[in-house]
Amino acid sequence: MTGSKQTGVNTSTQNAEPWGPQQDYLKNIFGQAQDLYSSGGAQYYPGQQTAPLAPETEQAWAMQGQRAQDGSPLVGAAKDSILGTLGGGNTNPYLDSLKAAAQNGGGANPYADQAYNSAADAVTRTFNDKVVPGVAGHFLSTGRFGSGAMNNGLVDATNDLTKNLSATAANIYGTSFENQASRAAQAQQALAGYGDNQVNRQFSAAQFAPQLAANDYNDIAALGAVGTARQGYGQQQINENMNRFNFQQQQPANNLAQFLQFIQGNYGGTQTSAQPVYSNPAAGALGGALVGGQFLGPWGAIGGAGLGLLGA
């Protein structure tokens, strides 16, 4: 507007309230919300949150720690066997006996003399009972009994007897010696083989020692598994209690939120509007002069115009 200026602002406020039947419910909800806020909110679960160690777990841990510190006696024995072999020990304990048997032929047969005496007696009886009488009878029948020829015949018979006894001795003692030496060598070889087998068994046992030692931990692990299962079951019970506790803690707020969803609507509000106010000084002076002129004459018109300007 030409010649006018803003002299003020007119402010108007319009209030819109919620639906009447809804208002009491909203007041109830807001009051409960204030109470929940003032109560400090949900509490932290006061109970134990981790299941305690089962007795089997504590025992398995103790056994495993002790076993790890002590080591396995099987592994120690296997190490000793291997170290002994590498150091020259664990040799065949019958090797010296085998060498001795090879050197002395296995020893004499204690029954060889008895066998020779029996055979020699038989040969001697035959010589005395048959050979000598036969030689004497022969020379007696020819009339040369007691002659030099007869003596030569007896000497020859005696030499034959000596040869027979020597052959008998060689057969008995030689065969006995060979048999005894052979049996001794076989026995020593068998013993030597037994010694080798013994050493091999020691090495075989040493190879299985680590596996057997590891089996100790299998038993400990089985015991630990029992403890773990019991702890897991205990933890499930604690989790169940925690979930129930947390549900109960959140239930008032959840109920209030669900109740609020059922009564959703226009909560109302306040709307404020402002409009500026303008005035025209010239129009105001003219209006004042007209009024002053009507009541006070010329001087009144001048005064009214001045008041109109001041009012502007």
End-to-end Cα separation, the chain, in angstroms: 14
Identify the pLDDT of residue 190: 64
Q: List the structure tokens of 171.
A: 């057969």
Q: Could you read off the pLDDT of 185-210 as tens digits, one per residue?
A: 776 676 666 566 667 767 776 776 77
CA-to-CA dists, residue 219 to 25, 56, 61, 64, angstroms: 67, 12, 12, 10
- Rounded CA-CA distance 11/255 in Å is 42
Q: Which residues of the chain have pLDDT under 50?
A: 285-286, 288-292, 295-296, 299-300, 302-307, 309-312
In this prediction, residue 291 carries a pLDDT of 47
pLDDT value at residue 109: 66
Domain ranges, ordered by start, for the chain: 5-17+269-311, 55-262
User: What is the H or E stretch that residue 17 is in?
Assistant: none
pTM passes above 0.85:
no
Please check whether residue 169 is in contact with residue 116, taking contact to mean a CB–CB distance below 8 angstroms. Answer: yes
* Residue 305: per-residue pLDDT: 46
pLDDT of residue 176: 74
Which tens digits make up the pLDDT trace of 57-92? 889 888 888 877 787 787 777 777 766 665 556 666
Alpha carbon distances (Å) from 236 to 223, 231, 240: 20, 9, 6
Residue whose tokens read 């309230």: 17
Q: What is the pLDDT, as a whole number, of residue 171?
A: 84
pLDDT in tens, 255-271: 878 777 766 666 666 77
| pLDDT on residue 288 | 47
How is 228-292 classified by DSSP, letter by letter?
HHHHHHHHHHHHHHHHHHHHHHHHHHHHHHHHHHHT-S---EEEEEEEEEEE-HHHHHHHHHHHH
pLDDT score recorded for residue 34:
83
Structure tokens, 265? 């609507």
Residue 139: predicted pLDDT: 77
Instruction: Give the C-alpha separation, 147 to 309, whole Å.
Output: 212
Give me the pLDDT at residue 281, please.
56
